[in-house]
Structure 1
Amino acid sequence: MKAIFERKASDFDLWSFEVSKTIRLPAEVFEAVLQKPMRDYDFIQDNIAQMHCDSSGVYHCLLLTGEDRKDGLLVESEGYGYCRYASYVPDISALTSPALQHLNERMTAAADYIVSTGTQNTTEGNWIISFDELAQQTGFEHDFNSMDTLLDMLHEREEVANVELGDTAIDVCYYLDFCPQYGGHPEEAEPGQLSESAAPVSRLKELLHLHWEDIHLLHKDVEVQPATIVELDEHTLTDAGKAGLG
């Protein structure tokens, strides 16, 4: 993705706009417009009536783009045949599809809510948010297609270690550096800091008398993808593993 960067900009004067018409040009023609925007072009001259600034200060523009291009150029020629006023747009998908823009806004709001609510409230490192709560707080109504995208968005967040999708809720594990309410566990305390009344910690050998499923292993200091043990009990260990228990 590319963008325009201004050197030592004193401010950014943002204008309200609406796209009056989208013109999809051959890729080489669109590239020529980007390289020489001050030239006169017939497709701008022929659409002068589509471009103006209304009484509310909203600029009505052409959106120029090229075949197989994701970027575009907003143009308000002010009655001329060249790009008198223009703004480069790296990704025009939201401009060409209001429905897609609305979906993106809702999904972004949902991802932000899941991350902010979970990290600020969890004391254990994970947080479960129901679909009903998500819809009530953000307006995001889940379905199979949009949920896959939401899960991808959550996996991209630096705060998120793992995401599990249930029938009625999302279970998210967060990296503990982002969880201010996380208080740690007794086994993480320094020697001598445990109170005499602290509950005894079970040894792995004792725990293996039970049958465990879907155990997620996290490293408290190193950010790695969680490892999952599907099943674990005294019968699933190898001879070497049993010997290591002592």
Structure 2
Amino acid sequence: MLITKAIFERKISEFDIQNCIIEGIELMNEDEFEDFSKNLLDDKDFIKNRKEEMYIDEEGLVHGLLALNMDSGDGILIDSQGFDYARYTAFLPSIKSYIDNHISMVVDKIIEEATENSSNGSWVIYFDEIEENHGLIIKENNGIGTMLLKELENREEIAELEIGDDCFDMMFYSEHLSIIDDEIEQNIKM
């Protein structure tokens, strides 16, 4: 039996689907998400503090803040239009698996680039590079960085990982490097 959640519209000729960009994610547990989803018109500090992440750009793309239930995986995309409550919303069932998959693919590409181009195992990737090359917007406390960091921490190739103000600073195990410095290679042989 396949069970999901949906919002049904009565007698519509087509869905009014809009392209959206998730600018940030508010990570919530089951109770927090349930409280939010049952009180969508209440002012919320997390919306008030992140209004700049919600807007419609010159091309008509909706930029929104995703309230994400980390337990169930469901989400509510928000465009507050400058207000402190969820003025416009879209329910996104099981969106977490999509986000997890996207973040995993980005981490795969980061690791591939680092291990193919670092000869000493040290690699730094800046948040603006991640946005430019992979489309993930990382800002302080926007949730996307938190999820990306967690995925990086779970990778066996990475020996050390530090997060800076504007970057991830990584050290890779030498056995995962394509090119190895002569000095490192000599230490391995000893």
TM-score of the superposed pair, with normalisation by structure 1: 0.39
TM-score of the superposed pair, with normalisation by structure 2: 0.49
Indicate the structure whose relative CO is greater, using CA pairs within 8 Å and at least 6 residues apart: 2
Larger radius of gyration: 1
